[in-house]
Structure 1
Amino acid sequence: MSIKYPNGKLYISNDDKKRSKKQQGIKKLSHSNRGMTLEEDLNVTNEFYLSRNMAIIHKKPIPIQIVNVDYPRRSAAKITEAYYKKASTTDYNGVYKGHYIDFEAKETQNKTSFPLKNFHEHQLTHMKACTDHGGICFVIIRFSTLNRVFLVDFPLISSWWNQQSEENVKKSIPLSVFETEAYELTYSLAPRLPYLPIIDKLIESHTGK
């Protein structure tokens, strides 16, 4: 199914970018990540937090306008083309310890850096607005080839995004920056990708409490 932004530009999801058809048939055997996408990892983690009343964080629904539907069988219908009713913002939001939480999840197969082109300007605008109103905003990025996951506070992402227009400035964030200025997450059994302890640190750094 093809989904497009309001301006007609084709939307490519994280899942679409992951692998070729040949690669899609091969699942990783790593015990720390058994072929799950970052989105799946986060969804399972959020379900764990919700079931234990630790946080209420959900994947945002995507408002779409269906354009074409194919009926391969009488009992089945397949959406073949759709458009976003409005530009998407970020992937997840919710409430934790009285704080509004809003974040984006991204994956890259790059081994040495994260391309800034993976962001859309309206996503950064949205996170800045939330931050200005006291929300806790961040991005969780997985280097899928390395199987390493980092939680990046919004101000760091914003800083790199804003300097793109400067001459001789990289259009991507080096892995070394994540290693020294972000928080690396470690997979566990339950929750699968524990990120609430890092949010505690962000709340403390933002509010001094």
Structure 2
Amino acid sequence: MRYPNGSRKRADTTSIDRSSSTKSYSNRGMTLEEDINAANTYYVTHNLASVHKKPTPVQIVNVDYPKRSAAVIKEAYFKQASTTDYNGVYKGYHVDFEAKETRNKTSFPLSNIHDHQINHMEQVTNHHGLSFIIIRFSPLEETYLLESKYVLEFWASKEKGGRKSIPHAFIKKYGYDIPFHFQARVDYLKAVDKVLAKLEEDDYV
């Protein structure tokens, strides 16, 4: 797959690893993306929320037709940079988030996030949408929801020469733990409910 400038898309070794089908997350062998997709299917099926993964728009430029009934894409380009992985509606709120998986145990590298994603998070936040990232520390088998406002703060600090990662201890303190559930897998709406409760409490105060 190529971008419009002709460069190939490089594998993002710090984000979700789709190559390891035997990844052990409590011996379930599921990636974070697969778990979230399964949760979203459960939410839609039970009319709890409408959240979906955003497709990446591509432009197909070379197709081979080995058979009349079959077509093989030989070359395609990403038409534009993506924003974040998921968006949708929950309890009347626009929810917009990115899913990231890391093998680090002590911190989440900010190199996992790109400039256009930061800009998008900032825009969603400015328009009072619910923007966050879901982070999985694979070796620790821990998954957290961290509001984008904290990500933006660490990013701004990094741009000024500060640290290039978010400490695990910070995420554990200010994020929301997402336990595994059989039906929803990564039942992140429970964490979103805690964010909403905090927002309502702040408004009340």
TM-score, normalised with respect to structure 2: 0.86
1:96 matched to 2:96: no
In the TM superposition, 1:1-209 aligns within 5 A as 2-4=1-3, 6-9=4-7, 10-12=9-11, 18=17, 24=20, 27-28=22-23, 32-70=26-64, 73-74=66-67, 76-167=70-161, 169-207=162-200, 208=203
CA drift at 1:12: 3.2
1:46, distance to aligned residue in structure 2 (A) = 0.5
Question: What is the Cα deviation at residue 190 of structure 1?
Answer: 1.3
Identify unmatched segments of 5+ residues in structure 2. Answer: none
Residue pair 1:45, 1:194 contacting (<8 A) in 2 also: yes
Partners of 1:70 and 1:15 lie apart in 2 by 33
Residue 51 of structure 2 contacts residue 88 of structure 2 at CA under 8 Å; is this kept in 1?
Answer: yes
Say how many residue pairs are matched: 200
Rounded Cα–Cα distance in structure 2 between residues aligned with 1:131 and 1:29? 34
C-alpha distance after superposition, 1:120-144 (max 9, x if no partner): 1111111111111110010001112
Contact persistence 1:130–1:137 (CA under 8 A)? yes
Rounded to whole Å, the distance in 1 between the matches of 2:74 and 2:13 is 19
Unpaired segments ≥5 residues, structure 1: none
Q: Distance in 1 between matches of 2:18 and 2:41?
A: 26
Matching residue's letter, 2:131: C
Amino acid at match of 1:101: V
Hey, what's the Cα distance between the residues in 2 that align with 1:107 and 1:70? 35
Counterpart of 1:203 in structure 2: which amino acid? L
Q: Partner of 2:72: helix, strand, or coil?
A: strand
User: SS of the counterpart of 1:117?
Assistant: helix
Deviation at residue 202 of structure 1 after TM alignment: 1.5
Equivalent residues of 1:41, 1:193 under 8 A apart: yes
Task: Give the percent of matched residue pairs that are identical in Structure 1 and Structure 2.
Answer: 47
Amino acid at match of 2:173: T
1:139-171 CA distances to partner (integer Å, 9 max, x unpaired)? 00111222211110010111101111223x211
